[in-house]
Amino acid sequence: MAKSVGKTGMVYGVEISSGMLKVTKKRLEKAGLLDRVELYCGDAVKMSYNAHKFDAVFMSFTLELFDTPEIPMILNEIKRVLKSEGSLGVVSMSREDGKSIVFKLYEWAHKKFPNYADCRPIYVEQSLTEAGFRIKSKDKVKVLGLPLEIVIGINLS
């Protein structure tokens, strides 16, 4: 992402784990991109950014880490920091079409060993729609037999 914004753009990263922030900072330093990125240790439920600050927000394998009641809270916070007509891109494990044996095995593993299978499939498109995003695009793919959704929503606030 830091490469894609060019020399004058900025990328902001929010991560709850200080350890993951250190890893990210080292990778950015090694790539010579740290000057284009501002990292913030915090919770996505309450971000310390002003309203309507960002043109786009991207989250990959993140939304499904939150408890189901927290998902609307996260999406509302994203709407707050996104500009009107700003884009939200989400890559997530999907509950849609979750009928395969691999899907069922993963769900079993998530229930029995949540420290190892920490993500859980969610209804991605439905979550964004219920939060008031207009769906611009949606793709479904499989990785290791698990269904994923790649959804882009537009902030209508």
State in words which class domain 47-155 has: alpha beta
Distance, CA of 63 to CA of 68 (rounded, Å): 9
Q: Where are the domains of the chain?
A: 1-42, 47-155
pLDDT at residue 107 greater than cutoff 90: no
Which strand (E) or helix (H) includes residue 76? helix 70-81
Q: Phi and psi at residue 149, in whole multiples of 5°? A: -120, 140
pLDDT at residue 157, rounded to an integer? 83
Q: Measured on CA atoms in the order 126, 92, 15, 49, is the torsion positive or negative?
A: negative
Helix (H, G, I), strand (E, B) or coil at 93: strand
Predicted confidence (pLDDT) at residue 98 exceeds the cutoff of 70: no
pLDDT tens-digit profile of 41-89? 988 888 989 999 999 999 998 898 888 899 999 999 999 999 999 999 9
pLDDT computed for residue 51 by the predictor = 95
Type of residue found at 125: E
How large is the greatest C-alpha to C-alpha distance in the chain, in angstroms?
47
Residue 119 or residue 80, greater confidence: 80
What is the per-residue DSSP string for 5-16?
TTTT--EEEEES
pLDDT category of residue 31 using cuts at 50, 70 and 90: very high
pLDDT digits (tens, 9 = 90+) for 120-129: 788 899 999 9
pLDDT greater at residue 53 or residue 116:
53
- Output the average pLDDT for the chain: 89
Closest alpha carbon to 137 in 98, 104, 89, 99: 89
